[in-house]
Structure 1
Amino acid sequence: MSATGPVADAAPPSGPAGVWAAQRRALGSFIRDQRRLARLSLRQLSALSHISNPYLSQVERGLHVPSVRVLQAIAEALDLSAETLLEQAGLVRDQVGPPGGSRSRGEPDDDRTVERAVRADRRLSHAQKEALIAVYRSYTDRDHEDDR
């Protein structure tokens, strides 16, 4: 490969640039996986989110970091929380637990972890995921009420 060849063919950069590139690719992969789980084509997601088809394709391939507005539009079109995509983009972090990294069961982060796992399960349809999350919330909300 010559020195003038495409940057995409070069070895991934190390350091902060490599971390950002990996984050872009991970975000793009996550969006593509969620689109596929929703059984949407790229064109359908483009129409639902009002974002151009070529730009969405580039985001899914990790070539661009979308703005918060674009992430929100994608999240709405995929029926995800904007927070989920913002976390995947590295713009919002999960809540940090108490010092020492331990959390007790039933804290809000546990709830989000369970919900993320259900949403990420490729074997479930969107309707099944929503039903499972609703049942989970009905039990955990009741448990929190009992603690009061």
Structure 2
Amino acid sequence: MSPTLGEIIRNRRELAELPLRQFASMVGISGPYLSQIERGLRAPSDRVLDGIARSLRTTADVLRRESAPEEATPAVLAAIADDPRLTASQRRALAEVYLAFVATGHTDRPGS
């Protein structure tokens, strides 16, 4: 079973060694609200999820994909999301380009 969006957010926050209150302040939300998101009691708005993603140095799309039960996160997207050398906008752009190529379903491999 895939982790929930809240579990992913909590895990990434803990990996970054950020206390809940400090992280909530970085995002611009209250500690109790972040706690409810992490426990799956509330779904974050797009604005809040974008703020959470920026603070975690990833994108909202990557967080959503990681929590999607029907599809596994490709290693390429995970590598993009975890590369500290990239800015948030670079991560978004690379992820969008990768997903666009994958969505076409075309391959240039011999025998394909």
1:45 match: 23
In structure 2, the residue matched to 1:130 is 84
Structure 1 residue 111, shift from structure 2 partner: 2.2
The equivalent residue for 2:76 is 111
Identical positions, percent: 39
Where relative contact order (Cα < 8 A, 6+ residues apart) is larger, the structure is: 2
Q: Which residue of 2 aligns with 1:82?
A: 60
TM-score, with normalisation over the residues of structure 2?
0.60
Q: CA deviation at 1:31?
A: 0.4
Q: Counterpart in 2 of 1:72? A: 50
- Output the CA distance in 2 between the equivalents of 1:85 and 1:112: 10
Distance 1:37 1:111 in 2: 20
C-alpha distance in 2 between matches for 1:62 and 1:94:
20
- Please list, as runs of the form range in 1=range in 2, the aligned pairs for 1:49-60 lying within 5 A after superposition: 49-60=27-38
Q: Distance in 2 between matches of 1:45 and 1:80?
A: 14
Any gaps of 5 or more consecutive residues in structure 2? 86-107
Structure 1 residue ranges (4+ consecutive) displaced by more than 4 angstroms after TM superposition: none
Distance 2:56 2:66 in 1: 14
Structure-1-length-normalised TM-score: 0.47
Residues 12-34 of structure 1 show CA distances to partners (whole Å, capped at 9, x for unaligned) of: xxxxxxxxxx87x6111110000
Aligned residues: 84
In structure 1, how many angstroms separate the alpha carbons of the residues matched to 2:32 and 2:75? 37
Larger radius of gyration: 1
Once the two structures are superposed, residues 32-91 of structure 1 have per-residue CA deviations (whole angstroms, 9 ceiling, x without a partner) of 00001111000111110001110100010111111111110100111112221232454x
RMSD between superposed Cα atoms in Å = 3.0
Alpha-carbon distance in structure 1 between the residues aligned to 2:32 and 2:51: 16
